[in-house]
Amino acid sequence: MSERRLSLAPMMERTDRHFRFLMRLITRRTRLYSEMVVDRTLIHGDAARHLDYHPAEHPVALQLGSADPGLAARAVAVARPWGYDEVNLNVGCPSPRVQAGGFGVVLMRTPERVAEIARAVYEETGVRLSVKHRVGLDEHEDYAFLARFVEVVAASGVRVFVVHARKAWTQGLDPKANRTVPPLEHAKVYRLKRDFPELTIVTNGGVGTPEEARAHLAHVDGVMVGRAMWDRPWRWAAADRLLGGDSPAPDRRAVLERYQAYLHERLAEGVPLRVLVRPLFNLFKGEPGGRRWRQQLDAALRAGRLPAGGLAALAPVEVGA
């Protein structure tokens, strides 16, 4: 399966290194994106805290928040030694905090600025950014606005565009509502691929199953999935087979055993147990025993330790693929 046919979307307070590692155990091919990290955080903060990841996560992408070419270039220079497979510029987030910083979806109004950021990063670091954006924002909802944005940014050397197939409202809707209220317009993303066949176009938004992702792949190069992977991670155990012909699907008991070994490694480094257990809560969601699984994880967190039998001891009896 191509490394871009399926991607895990960047999600704040979701796609940390621990959830990404769990997803890598479930699907070998999916490209995994980090939470967004702001340029100044990398330049002036604890870079390792935001950039460290397990080697097994490859292919893994870093998402950057920036509106300043110089700061973006400096931030990517800081991140480059970590060896991410991709650095993605956030031009899609509509949160008030991001808007106050002048980046995220508001940058769609100034594609020349996005192009300037991409050129500065490449000239300073040799890294070609990808861009994640919306199909539009506020009153800018016609296809011509979207196509001009892509055309201007592509002229700077950007070749990968991940398109959230909803426009964003910068006023009146909170970030959660902006993920669900504006209607999906995947047809606009399909048209981008027809009009810019030389570019890699990935669609994002409202995709809930590997089967739905496969249907989109008839029109675009890739599909990005966010909350549907967080809410039902095991559903994506079939993705490698359905989207790329790889088989067999992983065994859930083996996934639990491997994640437990990872968990103990991170505990030895001082990572809190609650942070490491959090990605596991939805692993049996919607299945017999799923509620009991969550209750037992809660009990383990209250006790401050896993039972002697480890994660497998907490799992429902049927934990095969």
Phi-psi region at 215: left, alpha or beta (left = phi > 0; alpha = psi -120 to 50): alpha
Active site (annotated) includes residue 151: no
Determine which one of 73, 91, 93, 314 is catalytic: 93
For 80-126, the pLDDT digits (tens) are: 999 999 999 999 999 998 988 899 999 999 999 999 999 999 999 99
Residue of 3 and 5 predicted with greater confidence? 5
d(CA 18, CA 134): 27
Q: CA 254, 23, 54, 313: dihedral to nearest 10 degrees? A: -40
Q: Residue 247's pLDDT band (boundaries 50, 70, 90)? A: confident
User: Given this model, what pLDDT does residue 1 score?
Assistant: 53
User: Given this model, what pLDDT does residue 2 score?
Assistant: 63
HSE at residue 190, side-chain half, CA atoms within 13 A, is 9
CA 160 to mean position of chain CA atoms: 15
Q: Share the mean pLDDT of the chain.
A: 95
User: Given this model, what pLDDT does residue 245 score?
Assistant: 79
d(CA 220, CA 218): 6
User: Given this model, what pLDDT does residue 45 score?
Assistant: 94
d(CA 105, CA 102): 9
| Contact criterion met (CB below 8 Å) for 16 and 28 | no
pLDDT at residue 248 tops 90? no
For 161-173, the pLDDT digits (tens) are: 999 999 999 998 9
Nearest to residue 158, comparing CAs of 203, 196, 208? 196
d(CA 50, CA 12): 12
For 140-198, the pLDDT digits (tens) are: 999 999 999 999 999 999 999 999 999 999 998 999 898 999 999 999 999 999 999 99
Cβ-Cβ contacts under 8 Å for 298 (sequence gap 6 or more): none
Average pLDDT for 40-58 = 97
Q: Residue 321's pLDDT band (boundaries 50, 70, 90)? A: very low
For 253-308, the pLDDT digits (tens) are: 999 999 999 999 999 999 999 999 999 999 999 999 999 999 999 999 999 999 88
